[in-house]
Structure formats: C-alpha cells, structure tokens
Structure 1
Amino acid sequence: MITDAPHIFMDISRLLSRARNPIPTGIDRVEYEYVSYLLKNEAHRLTFVAFHPVGCIGTLSTRAVCHFVDAMGQVWDGDRPLRDRLPRMAQRLTQSVLLSCWTMSRHQGDSIYLLVSHHHLTRPGPIEKFLSHHGSLFVPMVHDLIPLEFPEYARPGEPQRHARRMATVARLAASVIVPARAVAHSLAPYMKNRPADNHVHVVPHGLHLQLSSLSDAPVSRLPDDGRPYFVYLGTIEPRKNHLLLLNLWRAMVEEKGGAAPRLILVGRRGWENENILDMLERCPALQGNVLEYNDLSDPEVVSLLQGSQGLLFPSFSEGFGLPLVEAMVLGTPVVCSDIPVFHEVAGENAIYLDPTDGPAWRRAIDALLEKMPQGRTAVEAAGMNLFNWPRQVAAGIAVADETAAFFRSNGPRAS
C-alpha cells in the first residue's frame, strides 16, 4: 500500500493533437482511458498538462479537460454533430497552455509527470525543464520500438525520430511502462547504460468496456446481401501486410466470383501505401468485394466484428494488438501472425500463421467460412479480467506510485 501518494501531472498532448480524427488509434485510446480513470479515481491529486509547439509544457483547466474528454468519447461513439466542435475545444486548451507556462507555480511535494504516448519525446528540453521546475519524476509509456526494429515499414525519418524518443526515455525516465514483455525485451538495449534504479514495468493495455456487451449499431453502409465477410482492423500501411490479403482476395474472386466472401478493411489510410491503394482502387476483382471504412464508430466496429467470419491480422510487427483482444472478447475467431507479442496477448485463443504464407492463410479462411458467426463464446479471462481497462490503468498508476516511493526512500537519482 502506497502512503503519501505523489501528485500526478497527466499529459494529454496526444488527445489534443488528435481532435480532428473521429476514429481513435490504439494509443489515442490508451491516453483517453488513463485520463478517464484518473478523473474518476484520483482527481484529488491530479493536474492535466500539455505540450505547446513553442516548446513548453503547461497546466490545463481540469474543468475544460473534462468537457473535452467527454466530447471526444461521444465522437468516438458516433456523435457526428460534435465532430466540428472538438477541434475548437482542443485549440482553446492548447492556447491556454502558453499562458500557464509563464504563470505556473512550483508544485510542493512528490510528483510524477505521466506521459502515456510518444508525443514530444523528440523534444527532451521542455520535458527536462518541467521536471526540474516541479522536482517531478518522469514515468513515460513506450508502446513499441517498431520504427527501430523494422525501419523498412516506417515513414521517412521516423527511425531517427524514434531513436531520439528512446534516448529521451533512457536519460530522463525514472521508470517506464510497456504493454508487453516483447516490448520490454526490445527496449532493454536502450536502457543498458541506466543506473540500477531504473525499472521497466509490463502493464498490458485494457479493453474498451463497451466492447464487452452486444452492440445495437449495425454498419448501415454494409451491403445487406447475406455474403459472409472477414474483417481487418488497422491503419493501411506496409507493416500491416494488407497486400497478403488483397492478393488472396483477388484469387478467391477470380475463382468463386460472387460466392467469395467479402473483406472489410477498417482503418484510416497511412503512409508508404501506394501499392496497397493501387490494388484497392484499380484492381477490378476487388471492387465490391473488398470494402474500406475509415470512419466507423466504436459501436459500429463491435457490430461488424460480431457478424464476421473472423478477424484477420497478418501484421508483421505490433506493440500489443488491441484488435486481437477486441475480437477475442466478442468470441470472433482470430487468425493472426505468428509473432511473440500475439502469443503473449492471445495465448491459445488464436490461429497463428506465418505472415508470408499465403496458402496457409487461404486454408484458414476457407475453414472459417464453414463456421457460423452465431453461438460463439467470448474469451472471458481476456474480456473482464486481464484486459479490464480500469484495472490496467490502476496497475499503471501503481507503477508511478511505487516509483515515487522508491525515490523517496533511496534519495534522488544520480544524473
């Protein structure tokens, strides 16, 4: 039990930067859930902060953040009228940061600066200044090291940017939260020169609780012709390996025609994806057989997964894989890449295949076509235990509290 719990400076820079995007990414969801949990359970020791582009970190009005986060949650749940208001709310909050940078008083007592996204880790100066001003300990979350491990899938310059992020973490962090043991293993070489007081803590991500119940929000734009379909959730980028599925679908359509299942792609268009987009837009066999949605609400995604033959997840690399968990909780079959993090997350509840073995994926797809979506059993242990968001956020906050307690007992960290 932690006594004299530290004050928490919770950074929401990622959410502010994502106000124009109505559909959350996995990292967006993580920051949102940490904010929501802290507001409900730790508001007595909470101050929200954000990064301003001029190069400073300042405090925010808790009341204004509450209104913003509430609106963002409603937008994600499908409230379209709020979409236009959300960016203006974010802009006002960001503008207020600059004023607070000049007027912010020093916090007295133990405090933690909590950053659960990678936002502004390439700018260590403002972080270091904030830590020095408040005497705070830095507890960041590292979601993955994919740009460094697989630079061929990253945007130009992203490996260099991510290397700077990891250098910031290695130099300034008092402790680090990661979502999986696989990420901790990848991070270890970057932390090897740190003193012994640094710790990396594995805290798996949680699951949006709305996914644990049936949805009544069908995807109205999905053709109502009874054809079975499969789903892939994820940004359209090379790392996600969409080309494997698109080539399989072209062959299936050429073989079966209208009897072939559909493939539903859910996710925004990312980067370095020209070959994927060329197939989506110009391949005749895919027209009407592969459908792309980039603005579905959370309830619509739930409905889509529930009616599908299965989730297909052939990604080459992931830091965690939230879509896999979402599908498991709904009882939707999962076929995914045979990579360590997926085994860590799904255990025996998925079919694992080499992401380059097209024939094996075709056999798995054909096998799932023989099963009906109705009557499935959700993976209870994943849905309401290990992956419960409040529980997982509480574990992350416990890391921050234990970090403060450690430094309180052992004195300041050597530079």
Structure 2
Amino acid sequence: MPMTHGAPPPVVYDVTRLVTRGLNTSPNGIDRIDFALARHFLSRGAIPLSCTALGPRLAKTDEALAAIDEIESFWREDADIGRDAVYQAVVAALKAEGANRESAQLARKPGFARIERNWRALRDWAFHLGRPLSEIPEGAIYFNGTQFLLDRPWYVRWLDARPDVKPVAFVYDLLPVDQPQFFRPIEATLHPRRNRNIAHRAAGVVVSARVVEARFKAFAAENGRADIPVCVARLPVSPVFETQTPAPPELAGVDYFVVCGTIEPRKNHLLLLNVWRALGARGEAPKLVIIGKRGWLNENVVDMMARCPTLAANVIEAAGLSTPGLRRLMAGARALLMPSFGEGFGLPVAEALVAGAPVIASDLDVFREVGGDAPDYLDPIDGLGWLRAIRDYAEPNSRRRAAALSRIAAARIENRPQQFFETIDQFLAGL
C-alpha cells in the first residue's frame, strides 16, 4: 500500500555504537544524543540495526530498548548523588586544604562484576543472529545518529542494493577535516571518508547548528552533492539541568570552577592549567574540577597535572561523574569554562546556561549561536584575558559574574527537547 502523503516513514535506527557504551563509566555528548534519538525512534516502533559478526543485521525493538535502560542505569542518569562516589570524592577534594597526587585524579571504577556483565552484553550483541536486511520495509529511513562505521565501505555497501531505503546521518562537525592537528592521525583519513560516504549516499543530513550546516553544505558541494537536504535541530539538554538546584551547602565558602569535556587538545585544557599555575604562584588559585575522561594526544596535560605541585593542590580530575552530580557542581561553581579551539555545538555550554550557571567560553561562532550574549567570550589563545576573567569571577562579590547572571536571566534560556524531535520527524517525513 502506498504511503500516505506526510505520514512518517518507517525508521531503521542504527544502534551499533549505542550497545558498546556500557564499557564506558559515563556518557559523552554524542552518547547523550544517540541515546535520546534511539529512545525516540525505538519507542515509536523503529527497527534497530546492529553490526554483528555476520555484518549488519536487524534486531528486536524491545531488546534494544532494554539495552538502553541497562546502560543508562549503569550511568546513574537518574540516581541520587548521595550514591555517586565520584561526586562525593570531588566534594571531599574541594573541601580539603590541599589535594595530593593520589587524590587529584578521581575516577569511577565499575567493579569486576559490572565489567564482566558489560562484556557479556557486548558479546551477545556481536554474535546476535538477528534478521536479514531484506526485511527492511520498502521506502524506510535508515538513521545513523553517530556516523559510526560509515567510513567502512563494507558496512554501507548494503545501501547500494536497497536504493529504496533513504539514508540519513547526524553530522556533528567536520573538525577532523578542518583541524586535523587536534585529532588522532587516522581521523584525517577516516572523517573525510565517512562524510564523503554521507554526501554521496544520504537522502538527508541532520546537524545541530547553522555553523555546521554551512560547513557540511560546502563539503557536500565539493563532493558533487550541492543539493543535499540539511535539517538544523538544536540539541536538547537533559531535564536534569532544568531542575532548581541550590548551591551544594557542603561546599559553602569553596570557590571552584568546572571544565567539562574529554581531555584532548581541542578542548584547550593546557591554557587553563597554565592559568592555574600562575594563580597558584600568587597564592590566589581557586579550585578547578576537570570533568571528563582522558582522550588522546594529551600527554602534555597529563604530565603537567602529575608533576606540577601547584596544580596537584588545586586541580581535581574527575572521570565518570553522573549527570546529577555534574548539575549539582554547576550550581555552586563560579563558572563553567570552555576554552575550546573548535566545537560542533558545545553541549556543556547549553547545559550550564539552562542550569543558570555562568559560562566563560571561547569566542566561537557556534558558541554564540548556542549561547547568544549570555556567556563571557574570550579568544582561546588569550591566556592573560582568561587569567583576568577567572580572577574577576573568583572575587567574593564579583561584578563581572553578577553581570553574567543578569544576562542569563534576561536571555531566558529555553530548552525544548520535544522541538528537537519534532523538527527531525518533519524533516524525515518530507524526504
């Protein structure tokens, strides 16, 4: 029977990356969006697709939804922070007069039972027999929310045999193409390849910002697809950040800042460490909480944190912090710091502003698109400017911080997750 005009087409959602995330102790930004998209589509009857030992296969919707619930439970997304060991360890380190090298790095350890269970779940998915791709309904949308494996010709070859299926990919950024120096060397090959595959095959692309839309359209035009439809859907922020959360009473009188993101060179942690080293030498250093796991090409950052006594006394590295724990820390922080050299969206900026927390961020077009005039913007190489801003925000009655809070209140930062999904649904229905 032909599809009614405007009716939503059947969706096949790729859960391959999603089912591997139980090996991580906490989600990153792409994880959050992947899980939100998967829950949206699967709860409406979408068919999950996963890469197995037999190649791409179809799975049961209830099995994929159960995997989502299991992994999010492990991440403690809705947990009481009283049971978040990383949050409690951060609080203890912030209250201590001086940190030591052993306590400077706080990481959540899942325990052997959890590791064994996660590996068993991953093994089950890898050897999942599933159903053949020939069972995909005619005219369906194949949605890949993370670009995972789209650089592999063998993984996307099935699309050539099913020209009726409309591939759609979420493109977060083209930073490995434009700024390869910040990524593993292999990304200079893989990221252009996966985006060329998207440009050549996709019936449409979803992006989170106008800045990314313009860049991808230029890339697609260079690869012969100037006509590819692109949908801009602003990323949703977890409802946790909308809650009215008071500053942690246990941290009353403690001045601290937070920076959130994987420790990798694009995030520019080294600038902050040099600022903190200078502040420590003057005896003026507040605490800095670095929230995120260690990524790649970060030897300078890791060595500096390990070997500099001033940083050991004032910098706390926390991996595996729950989302409620992050929200609670934001409530008492002097500001969120985001000195990145490049971002596709910058979800922590949106999270902080929705939570009502001040933000000091790099002067990037995408941050201005996300935050408008609310953040305090600085050049990511202006070390003295960042030093002055952090000193200003750390003052007991900081006028600069008060002005930032006034801008946030005036901007009336809104978070409309449902609009994100509605925008994508309308886009898919029109393809």
Q: Please report the TM-score for the alignment, with normalisation by the length of structure 2.
A: 0.83
Corresponding position: 1:396 with 2:430: no
- Residue 136 and residue 75 in structure 1: after superposition, are their counterparts in 2 closer, same or farther (change >3 A)? same
Deviation at 1:39, TM superposition (A): 3.4
Corresponding position: 1:25 with 2:53: no
Q: Distance in 2 between matches of 1:75 and 1:122?
A: 30
What is residue 253 of structure 2 aligned with on the other side?
A: 226
1:239 to 248, 266, 287: 266
What is residue 410 of structure 1 aligned with on the other side?
A: none
What is residue 411 of structure 1 aligned with on the other side?
A: none
- Please give the per-residue CA displacement for 1:284-320, whole angstroms capped at 9, x wherever unaligned: 1111200000110111011111110000100000000
Contact 2:206-2:424 within 8 A present in 1 as well = yes
- Please give the per-residue CA displacement for 1:148-169, whole angstroms capped at 9, x wherever unaligned: 1111111121111111111101
- Residue 327 and residue 86 in structure 1: after superposition, are their counterparts in 2 closer, same or farther (change >3 A)? same
What is residue 203 of structure 1 aligned with on the other side?
A: 233
CA RMSD of aligned residues (A): 2.7
Corresponding position: 1:120 with 2:123: no
* Runs of 5+ consecutive residues of structure 2 not aligned to the other structure: 80-109
1:78-227 correspondence runs (5 A)? 83-84=114-115, 85-96=117-128, 99-100=129-130, 103-130=132-159, 132-133=161-162, 135-192=164-221, 193-195=223-225, 197-214=227-244, 226-227=253-254
Deviation at 1:7, TM superposition (A): 0.6
What is residue 60 of structure 1 aligned with on the other side?
A: 59
Deviation at 1:128, TM superposition (A): 3.2
- Residue 260 and residue 290 in structure 1: after superposition, are their counterparts in 2 closer, same or farther (change >3 A)? same
Deviation at 1:325, TM superposition (A): 0.5
Deviation at 1:71, TM superposition (A): 1.5
AA matched with 2:370: V
SS at match of 1:272: coil
Q: Distance in 1 between matches of 2:252 and 2:313?
A: 12
Contact 1:11-1:49 within 8 A present in 2 as well = yes
Deviation at 1:14, TM superposition (A): 1.5
1:42-53 correspondence runs (5 A)? 42-43=44-45, 46-52=46-52
Higher alpha-carbon deviation: 11-20 or 103-112: 103-112
- Please give the per-residue CA displacement for 1:258-299, whole angstroms capped at 9, x wherever unaligned: x52011100000111111011110001111200000110111
AA matched with 2:242: S
Contact 1:113-1:131 within 8 A present in 2 as well = no
SS at match of 1:19: helix
Deviation at 1:189, TM superposition (A): 2.7
What is residue 37 of structure 2 aligned with on the other side?
A: 34
- Residue 362 and residue 2 in structure 1: after superposition, are their counterparts in 2 closer, same or farther (change >3 A)? farther
- Residue 325 and residue 190 in structure 1: after superposition, are their counterparts in 2 closer, same or farther (change >3 A)? same
AA matched with 1:90: L
Contact 2:360-2:378 within 8 A present in 1 as well = yes
What is residue 3 of structure 1 aligned with on the other side?
A: 6
Q: Distance in 2 between matches of 1:237 and 1:382?
A: 32
AA matched with 2:52: H
- Residue 202 and residue 130 in structure 1: after superposition, are their counterparts in 2 closer, same or farther (change >3 A)? same
Q: Distance in 1 between matches of 2:248 and 2:427?
A: 39
SS at match of 1:4: coil
Q: Distance in 2 between matches of 1:358 and 1:299?
A: 31
* Runs of 5+ consecutive residues of structure 1 not aligned to the other structure: 404-415
What is residue 85 of structure 2 aligned with on the other side?
A: none
What is residue 323 of structure 2 aligned with on the other side?
A: 298
What is residue 250 of structure 1 aligned with on the other side?
A: 277
Deviation at 1:215, TM superposition (A): 5.2
- Residue 204 and residue 276 in structure 1: after superposition, are their counterparts in 2 closer, same or farther (change >3 A)? same
Q: Distance in 2 between matches of 1:111 and 1:245?
A: 48
Deviation at 1:16, TM superposition (A): 1.4
SS at match of 1:245: helix
Contact 2:56-2:133 within 8 A present in 1 as well = no
- Residue 397 and residue 380 in structure 1: after superposition, are their counterparts in 2 closer, same or farther (change >3 A)? farther
Corresponding position: 1:289 with 2:335: no
AA matched with 1:139: V
Deviation at 1:15, TM superposition (A): 1.1
Higher alpha-carbon deviation: 192-201 or 343-352: 192-201
What is residue 331 of structure 1 aligned with on the other side?
A: 356
Contact 1:215-1:299 within 8 A present in 2 as well = no
In the comparison of the two structures, how many residue pairs are matched? Answer: 389
What is residue 274 of structure 1 aligned with on the other side?
A: 299
- Residue 302 and residue 162 in structure 1: after superposition, are their counterparts in 2 closer, same or farther (change >3 A)? same
Q: Distance in 1 between matches of 2:317 and 2:368?
A: 28
- Residue 131 and residue 116 in structure 1: after superposition, are their counterparts in 2 closer, same or farther (change >3 A)? farther
- Please give the per-residue CA displacement for 1:102-140, whole angstroms capped at 9, x wherever unaligned: x44433432000001020011133323146347210000
- Residue 107 and residue 118 in structure 1: after superposition, are their counterparts in 2 closer, same or farther (change >3 A)? closer
Q: Please report the TM-score for the alignment, with normalisation by the length of structure 1.
A: 0.86
What is residue 406 of structure 1 aligned with on the other side?
A: none
Contact 2:22-2:74 within 8 A present in 1 as well = no
AA matched with 1:202: V
Q: Distance in 1 between matches of 2:226 and 2:32?
A: 32
